[in-house]
């Protein structure tokens, strides 16, 4: 495996990791609040940094990583949306960059920052190979029945379909879960990537057959600031009462847990002890359980459930609520193991395996880069 720099650009953040030959992690860091009171946090430091834009954030990361970047053979980027044409990780070329830019309208908070980082790195290290890894790619295996909205085939509806997201997390889970369990990958796996962004995926035989997010990361579950599923006419009504930009801001940045309880951080809600915080957490659990039923139906049953992501890995009460809601499937879990965050959560007699799997999108991105650059 070559030495790789992985880069994950958010709307106001940039996460970076350096992997040495063989996949060893050498360094990790992140710039937050880009364009405002930016800070760079790394293995060694946490301090303010001048980062008015993502290009400046990249320069700060490169400086902080320092000697660990010596010998880097490639950079690999998390790209949230690959559009309809980019369905596997690929080396960045002008044509691929143009396709990522064409898909920017589908992920306006993520693709443009990723492009800014790509362009900045190209200017700093023009000879360095770069690889694009797409969050949508894992879901390219969904059948047409799962992908297509019941819309007429017209110019006004062109490209409107379910894509699905968190694919890098799900691909990593599929690749590594069997080894962690010490047994073959369960055939019908309900994967729960729960964090500020949250989704479920029905994974049948290692392939995505359904997922809760759709055309954009807005759909599906209650999330940190996104509302999840909502009637289209309700969206039109919000836009009619304001404008499209305001409607987009409300739905993507001011809804979800924040809209219900004033805070998007599940840890803060757990500590708040207020009726609003309690309702927001129950709302999160209810919709996860309700949509889990749809994922199970898409697979014709369920053999295992895996929790990943910041909430999935670190919120025992949320996991317990979801597993309680899925008891009708024959799922029985050990409350002590759940409270302790153990890898296996199910207890003797459970019809389903239940487990926690640490998310490792960056590690998977590095592996994908290695596969692209050394396909043999």
CATH of the domain at 115: 3.30.420.40
In a domain, 175, yes or no: no
The three-point CA angle 249-165-371 to 5° equals 135
pTM value? 0.94
Q: Which residues pair with 333 in a beta bridge?
A: 346
Picking from 108, 134, 160, the residue at the C-terminal end of a domain is 134
- 213, 123: one domain: no
**Domain of residue 81, residue span:** 4-134
- 331, 209: one domain: yes
- 223, 344: one domain: yes
- 58, 127: one domain: yes
- 226, 108: one domain: no
Picking from 69, 104, 134, the residue at the C-terminal end of a domain is 134
- 124, 18: one domain: yes
In a domain, 316, yes or no: yes
The three-point CA angle 296-136-215 to 5° equals 75
pLDDT score recorded for residue 106: 81
**177: Cβ contacts below 8 Å, ≥ 6 apart:** 185, 189, 306, 355, 357
User: Annotated active-site positions, please?
Assistant: 135
The strand pair at 90-91 and 130-134 is best described as antiparallel
In a domain, 376, yes or no: no
In a domain, 347, yes or no: yes
Q: What is the DSSP letter of 124?
A: H
- 81, 212: one domain: no
Q: Which residues pair with 42 in a beta bridge?
A: 29
- 123, 191: one domain: no
In a domain, 142, yes or no: no
pLDDT score recorded for residue 108: 81
Burial of 223 (0-12, 13-18, 19+ CB in 10 A): buried
- 190, 298: one domain: yes
Q: Domain total for the chain? A: 2
- 123, 212: one domain: no
In a domain, 170, yes or no: no
pLDDT score recorded for residue 376: 60
pLDDT score recorded for residue 23: 86
| pLDDT, tens digit only, all 376 positions of the chain | 789 999 999 888 999 999 998 889 999 999 999 999 999 999 888 999 999 999 999 999 999 999 888 889 999 999 999 999 999 999 999 999 999 999 988 888 889 999 999 999 999 999 999 999 999 999 999 999 999 999 999 999 998 999 999 999 999 999 999 999 999 999 999 999 999 999 999 999 999 999 999 998 999 999 999 999 999 999 999 999 999 999 999 999 999 999 999 999 999 999 999 999 999 999 999 999 999 999 999 999 999 999 999 999 999 999 999 999 999 999 999 999 999 999 999 999 999 999 999 999 999 999 999 999 986 6
- 95, 235: one domain: no
In a domain, 163, yes or no: no
- 116, 190: one domain: no
pLDDT score recorded for residue 375: 67
In a domain, 365, yes or no: no
CA distance 165 to 248: 19
Picking from 76, 110, 134, the residue at the C-terminal end of a domain is 134
CA distance 346 to 355: 7
């Amino acid at each position: 495996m070559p030495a790789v720099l992985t880069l994950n650009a958010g709307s106001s953040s940039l996460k970076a990791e350096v992997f040495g030959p063989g996949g060893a992690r050498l360094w990790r860091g992140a710039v937050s609040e880009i364009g405002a009171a930016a800070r760079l946090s790394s293995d060694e430091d946490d301090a303010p940094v001048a980062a008015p834009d993502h290009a400046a954030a990249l320069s700060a990361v490169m400086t902080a990583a320092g000697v660990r970047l010596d010998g880097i053979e490639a950079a690999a980027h998390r790209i949230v949306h690959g559009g309809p044409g980019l369905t596997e990780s690929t080396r960045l070329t002008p044509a691929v960059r143009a396709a990522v830019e064409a898909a920017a309208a589908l992920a306006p908070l993520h693709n443009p920052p990723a492009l800014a980082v790509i362009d900045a790195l190209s200017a700093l290290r023009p000879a360095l190979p770069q690889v694009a890894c797409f969050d949508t790619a894992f879901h390219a295996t969904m059948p047409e029945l799962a992908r297509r909205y019941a819309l007429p085939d017209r110019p006004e509806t062109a490209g409107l379909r379910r894509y699905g997201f968190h694919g890098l997390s799900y691909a990593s889970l599929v690749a590594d879960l069997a080894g962690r369990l010490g047994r073959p990958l369960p055939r019908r796996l309900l994967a729960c990537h729960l964090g500020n962004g949250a989704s479920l995926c029905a994974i049948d035989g290692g392939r995505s057959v359904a997922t809760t997010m759709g055309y954009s990361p807005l759909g599906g579950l209650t999330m940190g600031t996104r509302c999840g599923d909502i009637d289209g006419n309700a969206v039109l009504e919000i836009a009619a009462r304001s404008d499209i930009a305001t409607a987009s801001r409300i739905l993507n940045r001011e809804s979800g847990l924040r809209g219900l309880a004033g805070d998007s951080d599940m840890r803060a809600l757990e500590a708040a002890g207020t009726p609003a915080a309690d309702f927001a957490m129950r709302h999160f659990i209810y919709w996860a359980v309700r949509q889990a039923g749809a994922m199970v139906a898409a697979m014709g049953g369920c053999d295992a459930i895996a929790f990943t992501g910041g909430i999935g890995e670190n919120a025992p009460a949320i996991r317990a609520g979801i597993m309680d809601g899925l008891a009708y499937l024959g799922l029985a879990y050990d409350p002590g193991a759940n409270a302790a965050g153990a890898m296996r959560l199910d207890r003797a007699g459970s019809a389903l395996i239940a487990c926690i799997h640490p998310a490792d999108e960056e590690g998977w991105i590095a592996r994908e880069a290695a596969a692209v650059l050394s396909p043999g």
